[in-house]
Amino acid sequence: MTRFARITGTGSFLPPRRVSNQDLVNQLAALGVETSDEWIVERTGIQARHFVDDHTHTSDLAFEASCRALRAAGRQPQDLDLIIVATSTPDMVFPSTASILQRKLAQLDAASAGIAGCAAFDVQAVCTGFVYALSVADAMIRAGNARCALVVGAETFSRLLDFNDRTTCVLFGDGAGAVVLEASERPGIAACDLHADGRHVDILCVPGHVHNGQVTGDPVLKMDGQAVFKLAVGLLEGAALKALAQAGWQAQDIDWLIPHQANIRIITSTARKLKLPMERVMLTVHDHGNTSAASIPLALDHGVRAGQIKPGQKLLLEGVGGGFTWGAVALTL
């Protein structure tokens, strides 16, 4: 009997503080930085994003999203044997945010303490992180190394932003999304296609690091927006087509494209290349901004809870981000 990995529950969480473009325009004006709602909407499609407060960590967002995904799957923390968190904004240098999340889930109640001992680690592939994490969990389940996995994308990207740099600080937001992925005899994940090209490390990076007890380098996000844009548009189509070919599907078979929510212009361009109408593209970028590794599971959960994405439908997830990394996953929900 072929063993598959199937998503059995989704969940997501956004920090309560919603920052509209106008809120950001006002905040930046106080710093002498000029931007406008019109510019942000026209160039990116973003109207608002959510930011954490000073006391909230990535693992807190991951915890809320995970609890919702577990409830949707009808699972308890102690049922899990694998936790993978995709993030570029971990709570600490180490241990992993996945380990911290495991501890928070273990503290839910007496039975949940049974989660202790399950494998837990982070995946760092920036905005492609969730696609990478899902692919790793799929491989571990199909190899028989795990049966019930929690796969999370969680970010507090607001912590990495330079609010004096209007070309980047208007683009990003905070949030988390999670799925429960289980071994199944029914097909779920049909194909994964992952890539990285380290020649482009410098076009999107946070070049700071800890050195002798000090942060050395510049610990804020740096991006060559136009270089990222050009690479993203070309690479996403290739990954999507490869995942589709591997699954034996045509683009027309896809019920929903769930792209990384970086910029509406990148998303529409990919949809056009795949000849997919925008009615079949899940969009949250207007309300969430770019939440990096959290954006795909956030959009997935948003569509599921809105009743738009339904069990049995064919989905194509695709991400692109720093590294440069990119990839796609084709799956039946």
Tell me the catalytic residues.
127, 260, 290
Q: How far is the CB of 250 from ligand ACO (least distance, A)?
A: 27
Sign of CA dihedral 75, 77, 82, 88: positive
Report the distance separating Cα 207 and Cα 216, nearest Å. 9
The position carrying tokens 């991400």 is 319
Residue closer to ligand ACO by CB (options 67, 196) is 196
Q: How far is the CB of 259 from ligand ACO (least distance, A)?
A: 11
Query: Total residues at the site for ligand ACO (CB under 6 A)?
Result: 24
Residue closer to ligand ACO by CB (options 121, 229) is 229
Q: Which stretch binds ligand ACO (CB under 6 A): 130-138, 140-148, 221-229, 236-244?
A: 221-229
Q: Which 97-136 positions form the footprint of ligand ACO (CB under 6 A)?
A: 126-127
Q: How far is the CB of 207 from ligand ACO (least distance, A)?
A: 14
Residue 163 engages ligand ACO in binding (rule: CB under 6 A): no
Residue 20 engages ligand ACO in binding (rule: CB under 6 A): no
Q: Which 228-267 positions form the footprint of ligand ACO (CB under 6 A)?
A: 228-229, 232, 262-263, 266
Residue closer to ligand ACO by CB (options 66, 263) is 263
Residue 26 engages ligand ACO in binding (rule: CB under 6 A): no
Q: How far is the CB of 290 from ligand ACO (least distance, A)?
A: 5
Residue closer to ligand ACO by CB (options 34, 253) is 34
Q: Is 135 exposed, middle or buried (0-12, 13-18, 19+ CB in 10 A)?
A: buried
Residue 170 engages ligand ACO in binding (rule: CB under 6 A): yes
Residue 226 engages ligand ACO in binding (rule: CB under 6 A): yes
Q: What are the structure tokens assigned to 50, written together?
A: 């959510």
Q: How far is the CB of 225 from ligand ACO (least distance, A)?
A: 3
Calculated CA dihedral for residues 235, 240, 243, 247, nearest 10 degrees: -160
Report the distance separating Cα 154 and Cα 150, nearest Å. 12
Residue closer to ligand ACO by CB (options 91, 155) is 155
The position carrying tokens 């090209």 is 197
Residue 43 engages ligand ACO in binding (rule: CB under 6 A): yes
CA atoms within 13 A on the CB side of 20: 5
Q: Which stretch binds ligand ACO (CB under 6 A): 56-64, 183-191, 227-235, 310-318?
A: 227-235
Q: Which stretch binds ligand ACO (CB under 6 A): 165-173, 207-215, 237-245, 246-254?
A: 165-173
Residue 322 engages ligand ACO in binding (rule: CB under 6 A): yes
Q: Which 189-208 positions form the footprint of ligand ACO (CB under 6 A)?
A: 204
